[in-house]
A and B are shown apart, each in its own frame.
Chain A
Amino acid sequence: MSGTDTRTATIAVLVENEAGVLARVIGLFSGRGYNIDSLTVAPVDAERRLSRITIVTSGTEMVIEQIKAQLDRLVPVHKVSDLTLEGPHLVRELALIKVIGRGEQRVEALRLADAFRARVVDATVESFVFEMTGDAEKIDAFLALMRPLGLAEVSRTGAVAIARGTRQIAP
């Protein structure tokens, strides 16, 4: 067995866009006791009926190799790609963040949102909804700042990721 050092892996999975495929992936993780830190899915190619799942998981190197091999043998899976292992890549997440407050707190929230390049997508006299993209750390940092300023509700997409440069994931 190769040590107990764990690492985080961002894995992109290209799958058939068909009923049950997400359940297969999730069932695999729960059935075999793997971690899911984040999971996103959406169709990416209507013509070829493909969806892309991005999974952020963590485990020992042996476990992560297992996860990839187990994913790859699911029948509707076209391609499994370990972005973390394969080189430079971008990870982004979108968050909608509702802050409720009045007066100075409200001004401060707006100022910080500007510094973090969060956009105001909804406003009332006592609330803002900010839209923000970034990696998980950036969003976490922003949420920490908003907490004393009236943070009320958060909705996050989970990570999506893509390799930098010309490298592609194709079926």
Chain B
Amino acid sequence: MSASPLSAASADPAMKPGAEVVLRALKDQGVEVIFGYPGGAVLPIYDALFQQNHIRHILVRHEQAAVHAAEGYARSTGKVGVVLVTSGPGATNAVTGLVDALMDSIPIVCLTGQVPTHLIGNDAFQEADTTGITRPATKHNYLVKRSEDLAAVLHDAFHIARSGRPGPVVIDLPKDILIKPAPYTEPPKPGAPHRSYRPVLDPDPAAIREAVRLLKGARRPIIYTGGGVINAGPEASQLLTEFVRLTGMPCTNTLMGLGAFPASDPQFLGMLGMHGTYEANMAMWRCDVMLNIGARFDDRVTGRLDKFSPESKKIHADIDPSSINKNVKVEVPILGDAARVLRALIAAWKEDATPFSRAQIEPWWRQIDEWRAIRCLAFTQDMTPGAVIKPQHAVKRLFEITRETGREVIVSTEVGQHQMWAAQYIGFEKPNRWLTSGGLGTMGYGLPAAMGAQIAHPEALCIDVAGEASILMNIQEMGTLAQYRLPVKVFILNNEYMGMVRQWQELLHGGRYSESYSAALPDFVRLAEAFHAKGLRARSIEELDGVIREMIAHPGPVIADICVAKDENCFPMIPSGAAHNEMILGPDQEKNAARVTDEGKVLV
């Protein structure tokens, strides 16, 4: 780097080195923690970090994990998660995390180092076209080429990350910009209109009235909500609960929306979608009015589109206009923030003079109760000593025993069967306690996400429900847990298979288990010990509860290796390309999967 023009210009006392301007902007944006990994291009920021006490830096072991940790932090607090990585490989390693945050609408600001401006485009050491690579991986990104833009770009990035539909924002920072003196500007006043980005927050009253009119006339209504309600803050979840109870209607949540409505409430039908409950999916299929708030008619939820909820009028409230009428054509689109939409719906419901009696939806509830009576999540666990642990039972006991402790519990997951079992058998009463990679489906998400949540909630019981394959994708973060004494519990459902891959191979590919066996697994107990953590193992049913209790009681990080049935499949299941009323309920009905066509198979 060229030092000559840099040191000379610092005569103006209002000017500070770029790295200090960066940290001041972070501080003024309320940042307390950043997750990062140093390298040549960001050394000036690390030097400035060393000389201050406002912001805590958590040193991860891989940049992907830095982003997932920031996601876990953001998802569990509602704040923006902040990441700091170096140029080149630092930035490219972060890309998976960025896309993960983009798909799940998680607010992230990721600072990436860059080679000095005069070397950009020269194939310099550790140079990558970071803004080019991350353009489709972020909500927005910036390359700061002028020192006078630095502070404004940082403030802008936080505004973009957290407002409207949240998402990840990258700021690429050339090294000379971090060294050269730069002016500082204060954050814009809250509410000051952005130059070009102005998401609509307040719903159109006419659309709200139309929605209420439809809902009051409904005989078979359903309220289906997603991550948008979580993103709109805890108040939105309270308003959702209020609205659902006010109307007496059934409510289902997407994978991303779990916790927005209390799982223990009798009006809750459970999660919907590919591995959702029978009652939720059948209610979606048969309903006459559907109210979707903050969900996006994802293919994992709709199943076969041309057979999706054929008899319903649909109302869709979303903050992102591009989510409306993207997959499913709706009768009443409502643009707005989920909390404001719900507040308006509650007010309009009370104002509207149209009578609505619970009696008009009573037959619908009777129908739903019939579907519930099928008990789609029931399973049989042999309790004789030495019996093999069923994964469903392991998750169910984990939920029950953690609930007994009365502690605040935050659950993250990796991706696969264990993720679905966690979604099915763990009940969430409140938002921000459930961290999972929904859209991108990133194996390796859960451990760093739990780590980020634990940083934000030191007293909480943070558990990563994992599979033995997924956990190895970011296992290096056990080192971070050790360094910061983070008592995260890793609860591995070890069936020695990439379970969901194996399940699909069994159901759709003639039982040819191509490359899905987890060969040469490490000894997870000794692996835990190598990382200064506690290792536990449950081999059979009589050991399970003891291992869970010991895991929870231990004050430090733990890996619990739960050896579970190897051939268990995750049910219920809507086979790919099928409709909601074509669910497979259990092993006895697996033969129905034979109907999956090639057209269905391509639908992943």
Contacts and interface: CB of A to CB of B under 8 A. Distances in A.
Nearest to B326: A66
Interface in B277-335: 305-306, 320-322, 324-326, 329
A83 interface: no
B195 interface: yes
A23 interface: yes
Given A31-B136, A62-B329, A73 B306 contact: no
B131 A20 contact: yes
A78 B196 contact: yes
A24 interface: yes
Contacts of B160: 75
Contacts of A73: 164-165, 199, 320-322
Interface string A68-99: 01101111111000000000000000000000
A42 B131 CA distance: 22
B339 to A, nearest CB: 20
Contact of B140 (A19, A23, A75, A78): A75
Contacts of B305: 1
A73 B335 CA distance: 13
Interface in A22-53: 23-24, 27, 31
A27 B129 CA distance: 15
Contacts of A27: 135-136
Nearest to A75: B140
B135 A19 contact: no
A2 B324 CA distance: 14
A19 to B, nearest CB: 7
B329 A24 contact: no
A19 B153 CA distance: 14
Contacts of B326: 66, 69
Interface string B136-162: 100111010100000000000000100
B333 to A, nearest CB: 10
A20 B143 CA distance: 9
B238 to A, nearest CB: 28
Interface residues of B, number: 25
B139 A66 contact: no
B195 to A, nearest CB: 7
A65 B196 contact: no
B132 interface: yes
Given A27-B135, A27-B136, A75-B197, A1 B322 contact: no
A76 B132 contact: no
B322 A24 contact: no
Contacts of B132: 23
Given A1-B305, A78-B196, A66 B136 contact: no
Interface in B362-393: none
B129 to A, nearest CB: 11
Contacts of A70: 322
Contacts of B199: 73
Interface string B161-200: 0001100000000000000000000000000000111010
Contacts of A24: 135
Contact of B321 (A16, A20, A72): A72
Interface string B330-361: 00000000000000000000000000000000
B334 to A, nearest CB: 14
A65 B325 contact: yes
A17 B168 CA distance: 22
Nearest to B132: A23
Contact of A62 (B136, B143, B320, B325): B325
Contacts of A2: 329
Contact of B196 (A20, A66, A69, A171): A171
Interface in B89-135: 131-132, 135
Nearest to B323: A69
22 contacts: A1-B306, A19-B143, A19-B145, A20-B131, A20-B135, A23-B132, A24-B135, A27-B136, A62-B329, A66-B322, A69-B320, A69-B321, A69-B326, A73-B165, A73-B321, A73-B322, A74-B140, A75-B160, A75-B196, A75-B197, A76-B196, A77-B196
Interface of B: 131-132, 135-136, 139-141, 143, 145, 160, 164-165, 195-197, 199, 305-306, 320-322, 324-326, 329
Given A16-B195, A69-B324, 17 more contacts: A1-B305, A1-B329, A2-B329, A16-B196, A19-B145, A20-B135, A20-B141, A20-B143, A23-B135, A27-B135, A62-B329, A66-B325, A69-B322, A73-B199, A73-B320, A75-B197, A77-B196
